[in-house]
A = this chain, B = another copy of it.
Amino acid sequence: MTDVRDESSGSRELVEELAGRLCNWDRWDRHDGVGALNLITPAKRLEGSAAVRSGEAFSLGFELRPDLPQPANSGRQNPLHLMTEVPGDFPDGWVGPVSADDWLSMAVHAATHWDALSHFFHRGQMYGGISAAEVTATHGAKRNDIVPVARRLVTRGVLADVARHRGLDVLPPAHGIGADELREVLDAQGVEVRPGDALLVRTGLLGATKRAGAWTEFAQCGPNLPRNPGIAVDALPLLHELGVCAIACDNWAVEQTTGGPPDFPVHELALVYMGMILGENFELDALADACAAAGQWDFLFAGQPLPLRGGVGGPVNPMAVL
């Protein structure tokens, strides 16, 4: 497969149609705030830990630093780290304890994070049919915040390395990964995706951007979206069928973005209707190399974010144990 699909696969008609077909609101308690993470059961976590073979671990979180990965004026401030105490503060001759303390300020969605089910809305509602009015500047997300996700997200993980499968460093700009391509990659890798799995999909974009230092292409910093490879709308029925509970990519928005004004059909369908959370800015290159070397594409995935009350997202340092 060598074609590039750089047109959005998400016509408004298709979104409407899929919104009905993929809707999980009545599949579980629509008020529990976890959506498809309901597929993670204790037995599922046993399956996840059984996937550990070498014990090698890969941390998938982008280092929290003030200059990356968001370009200047993206509207999402990179993490700012300040010191509130340093050892030099203690005078000469001081005999008591000497310590250092620090402070962190960041846009939640700037670095590696999960979007909570309150991050996106459609027709005035978020997941479960809950009113968008439950998310306010005063209280953040009163419903569907990231906290229940933080309490649950350890499961079996699977990596689909689309870039490697195509023999590319990075997928072409704006390329959409659809159901056929995803299935082809999983088949070629010989790995089965099962209900409750977290699926990591590698486009190669974050690593390639890092090597090139070309961050203005990576994230939105103007009126138009970047042209990022990512998940296409027509992959969603497959993810639904497979029972994927959470999907993450090494790009800015999980989904394919094709330039032009903001349009996020995968966000709308996955978050609002499927209750499937999205993980962004994941670093997947080292994990992918190890998976390829071992011929092992599943692992234990500890992807629990910080339990941020009211958070429409949550910072996370996801860990894959091979």
Q: Is there contact, CB below 8 Å, between A132 and B73?
A: no
* From B44, B89, B108, B302, contact of A154 by CB (8 A): B302
Residues in B neighbouring A108, C-beta threshold 8 A: 101-104
> What is the copy number of this chain in the assembly?
4
Interface residues on A, range: 35 or more
Judged by a CB distance under 8 angstroms, whether A11 is at the interface is no
Q: Mark A102-117, 1 if CB is under 8 A from B, else 0.
A: 1111111100000000
Name the CB-closest residue of B to A45: B55
Judged by a CB distance under 8 angstroms, whether A237 is at the interface is no
Residues in B neighbouring A304, C-beta threshold 8 A: 59, 61, 302, 317, 319
Judged by a CB distance under 8 angstroms, whether A202 is at the interface is no
- Given contacts A41-B55, A42-B55, A317-B305, whether A135 and B64 have CB atoms under 8 Å apart is no
Residues in B neighbouring A311, C-beta threshold 8 A: 64, 81, 102, 104
Of A46, A52, A150, which is in contact with the most chain B CB atoms at under 10 Å from its CB?
A: A52
Residues in B neighbouring A305, C-beta threshold 8 A: 317
Q: Is there contact, CB below 8 Å, between B63 and A147?
A: yes
* From B77, B85, B91, B122, contact of A98 by CB (8 A): B122
Judged by a CB distance under 8 angstroms, whether A2 is at the interface is no
Q: Mark A66-81, 1 if CB is under 8 A from B, else 0.
A: 1100011101110111
Considering the chains assembled together, what is the distance between the CA atoms of A118 and B41 in angstroms? 38
List A residues 290-320 near B (Cβ within 8 Å). Answer: 300, 302, 304-313, 315-317, 319
Judged by a CB distance under 8 angstroms, whether A31 is at the interface is no
Considering the chains assembled together, what is the distance between the CA atoms of A85 and B109 in angstroms? 12
Of A42, A47, A48, A81, which is in contact with the most chain B CB atoms at under 10 Å from its CB?
A: A81
* From B63, B87, B141, contact of A132 by CB (8 A): B87
Residues in B neighbouring A317, C-beta threshold 8 A: 150, 304-307
Considering the chains assembled together, what is the distance between the CA atoms of A104 and B104 in angstroms? 8
* From B71, B104, B150, contact of A59 by CB (8 A): B150
Considering the chains assembled together, what is the distance between the CA atoms of A151 and B319 in angstroms? 8
List A residues 238-265 near B (Cβ within 8 Å). Answer: 261-264
Residues in B neighbouring A150, C-beta threshold 8 A: 59, 61, 317
Q: Is there contact, CB below 8 Å, between B136 and A83?
A: yes
8 tightest Cβ-Cβ pairs between the two chains A and B: A88-B88, A72-B72, A42-B55, A302-B302, A45-B55, A87-B132, A89-B136, A49-B49
Can you list 11 A-B pairs with a CB-CB distance of less than 8 A?
A: A42-B57, A44-B55, A45-B52, A45-B57, A63-B309, A75-B84, A77-B77, A77-B80, A84-B137, A86-B136, A102-B109
* New contact pairs (19) apart from A46-B54, A48-B55, A102-B311, CB-CB < 8 Å: A47-B55, A57-B152, A59-B307, A66-B73, A81-B308, A81-B311, A82-B83, A86-B137, A87-B121, A87-B132, A88-B132, A96-B263, A99-B121, A102-B107, A102-B108, A102-B109, A104-B108, A304-B317, A304-B319
